[in-house]
């Protein structure tokens, strides 16, 4: 596929996810907290198809930089209601595409690692606040930011499942068996669950990804 066509599909997909979230907010009455995470997970899952869209990481990096700017403008001016955060200091939507671009540059030649590095952020961080809000009964606080044990458990379960799947389902090198993928997926998710719990101001989008990168970069996949 032409990289230019891939770039068009990339932008079209992201704006379609945003449109879906905005539709859910307006027509079905879903809260902004929910629609924000629909976008978060939907956009993160695009990583599973990047090698079908591009033959090198640079076009995707350009798209990521474009969304850094778009999301920064949205954070400043409130252009897209379904992406808004109740915390004005939260720049998570700006950090997300930046983190994705860095992961693509570092792991482009190892697709399973590239996708796996983004799954704790995509699914763990995406579902933690949703689970916490629906089922949270045991709160704890980090610098006045409320967390729940149930939300952290939701992070771990979702992050582990999709990190594990990415490591052995995504084609490319290294080839990792389902059994060999279990331990690194567990360790990555365990550590990122703790990191997410103590990260504030949207910095978890950076810290979670940094931890995933560090573990995957040094894990002996042989």
pLDDT tens-digit map of 54-63 = 999 999 999 9
Rounded to whole angstroms, what are the CA distances from 51 to 6, 134, 145, 217?
A: 10, 36, 38, 19
- Count CA atoms within 13 Å of residue 100 on its CB side: 29
- E strand segments, 120-176: 139-142, 145-148
pLDDT (tens digit, 9 = 90+) per residue, 91-144?
888 999 999 999 999 999 999 999 999 999 999 999 998 898 888 788 888 777
Task: State the residue for tokens 């990481």.
Answer: 57
Mean pLDDT in residue range 73-98: 78
pLDDT (tens digit, 9 = 90+) per residue, 16-39?
999 999 888 887 777 887 888 899
Rounded to whole angstroms, what are the CA distances from 213 to 49, 99, 144?
A: 19, 10, 28
pLDDT score, position 89: 66
- The alpha carbon torsion through 72, 75, 79, 81 (nearest 10 deg) reads 140
Task: For residues 71 and 93, give the distance between their C-alpha atoms in angstroms, rounded to a whole number.
Answer: 6
Q: By the 8 A CB rule, do 8 and 64 touch?
A: no
pLDDT (tens digit, 9 = 90+) per residue, 167-207?
999 999 999 999 999 999 999 999 999 999 888 777 889 99
Provide the residue count of the chain: 222
| 89 or 194: which leads in pLDDT | 194
Q: By the 8 A CB rule, do 188 and 163 touch?
A: yes
Is pLDDT of 86 > 60? no
Q: By the 8 A CB rule, do 88 and 98 touch?
A: no
Q: Is the peptide bond before 170 cis (omega within 30 degrees of 0)?
A: no
What is the band of 87 on the pLDDT scale with cuts at 50, 70, 90? low
**Other CB atoms within 10 Å distance of the CB of residue 32:** 15
Is pLDDT of 77 > 70? yes
What is the band of 85 on the pLDDT scale with cuts at 50, 70, 90? low
Closest CA to 27 of 85, 87, 81: 81
pLDDT score, position 70: 93
pLDDT score, position 142: 79
| 204 or 210: which leads in pLDDT | 210
Task: For residues 76 and 70, give the distance between their C-alpha atoms in angstroms, rounded to a whole number.
Answer: 10
Backbone angles phi, psi at 136, to 5 degrees: -65, 120
pLDDT score, position 1: 62
């Amino acid at each position: 596929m032409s990289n230019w066509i891939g770039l068009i599909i990339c932008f079209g997909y992201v704006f379609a996810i945003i449109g879906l979230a905005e539709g859910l907010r307006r027509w079905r009455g879903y809260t902004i907290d929910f629609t924000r995470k629909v976008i978060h997970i939907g956009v993160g899952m695009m990583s599973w198809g990047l090698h079908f869209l591009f033959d090198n990481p640079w076009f995707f990096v350009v798209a990521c930089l474009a969304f850094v700017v778009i999301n920064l403008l949205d954070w400043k001016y409130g252009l897209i209601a379904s992406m808004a955060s109740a915390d004005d200091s939260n720049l998570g939507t700006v950090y997300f595409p930046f983190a994705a671009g860095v992961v693509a540059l570092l792991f482009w030649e190892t697709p399973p690692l590239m996708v796996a590095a983004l799954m704790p952020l995509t699914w763990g961080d995406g579902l933690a606040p949703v689970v916490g809000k629906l089922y949270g009964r045991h709160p704890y606080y980090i610098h006045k930011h409320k967390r729940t044990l149930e939300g952290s458990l939701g992070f771990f379960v979702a992050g582990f499942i999709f990190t594990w799947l990415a490591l052995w389902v995504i084609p490319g090198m290294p080839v990792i068996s389902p059994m060999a993928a279990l331990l690194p997926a567990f360790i990555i998710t365990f550590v990122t669950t703790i990191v997410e719990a103590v990260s504030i101001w949207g910095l978890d989008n950076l810290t979670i990804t940094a931890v995933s990168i560090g573990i995957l970069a040094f894990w002996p996949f042989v």
